[in-house]
Amino acid sequence: MKFVLSSKIFRATVTEANLAYQGSITIDTDICDKAGFWIGEKVLVVSNTSGARLETYVIPGKSESGVICMNGAAAHLIKEGEEVIIMGFTLSDKPIEPKIVFVDKNNKIIKVK
């Protein structure tokens, strides 16, 4: 068994960074659904802008809002306006085809692979 990539949101733009929240990443529920993320799922977030990498968990954001919000301590590492890749992994005994969601600069879905 190996951990393999199962879901990815590619080149999303962070719309908010909220230090006052207790933790997590808020993601537009439509984007979550297309990527196959579950609420509460552990994700790896990588900033293409700063190079920061962190693990956190998903909380739901308003549908069709395009929200990608870094919450709590993560807001120190990845800030509003940064470009990120958000990845989920699953434990599998064979290779799987990940769901990849491509978004534009406003986090509107442009393609799902």
- Report the SS3 class of residue 39: coil
pLDDT above 90 for 93:
yes
SS3 state at 31: helix
Least Cα distance to 8 among 39, 29, 32 occurs for: 32
Amino acid identity, residue 11? R
Candidates 2.40.40.20, 1.10.238.10, 1.20.1250.20, 3.40.50.300; correct CATH number of 2-93? 2.40.40.20
Coil vs helix vs strand at 83 = strand
Residues classed as catalytic = 24, 57
pLDDT confidence of residue 23? 82
pLDDT, residue 35, reads 98
Q: In the chain, what are the domain boundaries?
A: 2-93
Q: What is the pLDDT of residue 25?
A: 98
Distance in angstroms (rounded) separating the CA atoms of residues 23 and 43: 13
pLDDT, residue 31, reads: 98
